[in-house]
Structure 1
């Protein structure tokens, strides 16, 4: 079974910014947690939510570095490492003890295209562990606060890169197949979407809705640090001088444009009663007709939509069970 992916006609588009989608929205009295909130898209998300009146808490492995980066933003920084189960538990316990409810959880932090197979201390592949498992554990830990909000939203950052790979349930850690940076990244981004499907199915009746967001391609955020500059130039993401190209029609965006879909999913009244969907360009995206190997590089920059395997409910349930086993959350 697949989730229905039908655009709602939001009135926004690929060029819309966080300021556009938050115009007239008051978040006073609401609380948000944003992972990776001290750089790039996360910092713009935190700045925007705080400017609209929300109390924002940012988990960070390096607290002092995060505080320096966010010196001009009204937000709190608490310690947490997405690769440390004990650290995640400690953050969740602290939050539950100090806050009555949580209105918005933005699972924004991520890594991309590690050139060589890297395993965490548990033996889990780094991109899957960081991009999916850490956020899975964090979300489950914060569920009591999300449920208490009565109308909470969980927004998970994914990518059009999910088209590179479904989740290989029998070998998520590349123990028996050849590692590829984009295969691992694609698998983790598909997991973000399937997690959204599974979370929404389990929690929407209790007042928690979930959304997956593709922000577009935004150079200069640090996410692309493992990708050679020449590769980005050849792909048309950077110009010949290594400067970011902005062209929303090709999904090449500024940070404010890239974070707009995240903020729209977190706050838009148009999404009331909806959830479990993949969004891009400030709207729900359709099912993709993309066929691997069927496009030129230029065409690939204009691809949109979500791969059918990423919104399959049976796969979402399978991922949920596997994730529980991997974090030993029974």
Structure 2
């Protein structure tokens, strides 16, 4: 798989915006689902794809809130989806399949960030892994018929540079011991990449290609503000007065810049015959050294490129098999354990 991790020379830069990436691309007639497509990065993805002509379905846990957020954007509808609730996922899938519509692009964007104390779903699974990976895994497999129905469909998993700092905890992915919220988040983002690698291997013969796309650190979004201003200042994301520090060349981006890599994965013809790759800065990421220190020092720029373990095909197959097994487990309760 590593041989595919070479930049294309796409012509875009870290500062490119979603509108710039979509310039001249007609998405008319394309059906797109964006999970969490009503807030932060997701809202910008929805707006840009609608502007290019696509019909976008925003999948959201709170449909009323989502509908208010996307009001006025053309060709956008809202469906209820709670990625921590397997029944909710099944209901969304059934509704889509019953409509008979092909699905041209699925953007698995929604996610939760690190929580100081462990949160578990109805199966007892750690919530970041369950939401960011397993929920999207179940959703994607359920929508497989609609993706197959479309010609040259794409699945885009929104990941993070945090994927570099994790390994899958094969014997304890749900942190029954030694819970660390940052490690749990990084594991879920690594899972997003490995899922794209294996999905592309399995489904590319049907014309379905998959990508893991790193948008950068989106300064000011709720997901990245959860640690409070002190943590954001330590990471070099805000200055002493609390103002956002935007520098796309060090990975600190606006939502418009962050959405660029996502819509590049969803639309660009340069990827027509390539899948199973990790993207950043609206191009295929290069492959860099395996080990890097993890630091929040704002004076140190940590590369967010692909690492060998993040695109390892054997790990990707193993994660798919583990995910299948985990989804087969019965629910322990009817609600999330908080």
Normalising by structure 2, what TM-score?
A: 0.94
How far 1:61 moved relative to its partner?
A: 1.1
Q: Does 1:11 align with 2:36?
A: no
Name the structure 2 match of 1:219.
219
1:122-141 mapped onto 2 (5 Å cutoff)? 122-141=123-142
Name the structure 2 match of 1:165.
166
Instruction: Look up the SS of the partner of 2:279 in the other structure.
Output: strand
User: Would you identify which runs of 4 or more consecutive aligned residues in structure 1 move more than 2 Å?
Assistant: 1-4, 290-302
Pair 1:28–1:233, CA change in 2 (3 A): same
1:124-273 mapped onto 2 (5 Å cutoff)? 124-176=125-177, 178-273=178-273
Instruction: Judge conservation of contact 2:56–2:77 (CA < 8 Å) in 1.
Output: yes
Instruction: Judge conservation of contact 1:3–1:313 (CA < 8 Å) in 2.
Output: no
Instruction: Look up the SS of the partner of 1:210 in the other structure.
Output: strand
Take 2:267 and 2:98, find their aligned partners in 1: how far apart are those partners? Answer: 25
Name the structure 2 match of 1:95.
96
Instruction: Judge conservation of contact 2:164–2:304 (CA < 8 Å) in 1.
Output: no
Name the structure 2 match of 1:326.
326
Instruction: Judge conservation of contact 1:162–1:187 (CA < 8 Å) in 2.
Output: yes
Pair 1:300–1:147, CA change in 2 (3 A): farther
Name the structure 1 match of 2:336.
none
Residues matched between the structures, number: 328
Instruction: Judge conservation of contact 1:33–1:105 (CA < 8 Å) in 2.
Output: yes
Residues 279-319 of structure 1 deviation map (CA, whole Å, 9 limit, x = unaligned): 00000001122533387824643513112111001100100
Instruction: Judge conservation of contact 1:286–1:306 (CA < 8 Å) in 2.
Output: yes
Instruction: Look up the SS of the partner of 1:240 in the other structure.
Output: coil
When structure 1 is superposed on structure 2, of 233-242 and 259-268 the one drifting more is 233-242
* Stretches of structure 2 lacking an aligned partner (at least 5 in a row): 330-338
Q: What RMSD over aligned residues (CA atoms) do the two structures have, in Å? A: 1.5
Instruction: Judge conservation of contact 2:234–2:298 (CA < 8 Å) in 1.
Output: no
Instruction: Look up the SS of the partner of 1:109 in the other structure.
Output: coil
Instruction: Look up the SS of the partner of 2:264 in the other structure.
Output: helix
Instruction: Judge conservation of contact 2:58–2:78 (CA < 8 Å) in 1.
Output: yes
Take 1:57 and 1:3, find their aligned partners in 2: how far apart are those partners? Answer: 35
Take 2:317 and 2:23, find their aligned partners in 1: how far apart are those partners? Answer: 37
Q: Does 1:60 align with 2:60?
A: yes
Pair 1:219–1:295, CA change in 2 (3 A): closer
Take 2:183 and 2:295, find their aligned partners in 1: how far apart are those partners? Answer: 18
Instruction: Look up the SS of the partner of 1:211 in the other structure.
Output: strand
Take 1:242 and 1:314, find their aligned partners in 2: how far apart are those partners? Answer: 44
Take 1:304 and 1:90, find their aligned partners in 2: how far apart are those partners? Answer: 36
Take 1:92 and 1:127, find their aligned partners in 2: how far apart are those partners? Answer: 21
Instruction: Judge conservation of contact 1:115–1:226 (CA < 8 Å) in 2.
Output: no
Instruction: Look up the SS of the partner of 1:203 in the other structure.
Output: helix
Take 1:321 and 1:28, find their aligned partners in 2: how far apart are those partners? Answer: 36
How far 1:147 moved relative to its partner?
A: 0.6
Name the structure 2 match of 1:31.
31
Name the structure 2 match of 1:81.
82
* Stretches of structure 1 lacking an aligned partner (at least 5 in a row): none
Name the structure 2 match of 1:109.
110
Take 1:174 and 1:294, find their aligned partners in 2: how far apart are those partners? Answer: 20
Pair 1:160–1:294, CA change in 2 (3 A): closer
Take 2:166 and 2:299, find their aligned partners in 1: how far apart are those partners? Answer: 19
Take 1:297 and 1:303, find their aligned partners in 2: how far apart are those partners? Answer: 13
Name the structure 1 match of 2:284.
284
Take 2:276 and 2:174, find their aligned partners in 1: how far apart are those partners? Answer: 26
Q: Does 1:303 align with 2:288?
A: no
Instruction: Judge conservation of contact 1:88–1:138 (CA < 8 Å) in 2.
Output: yes
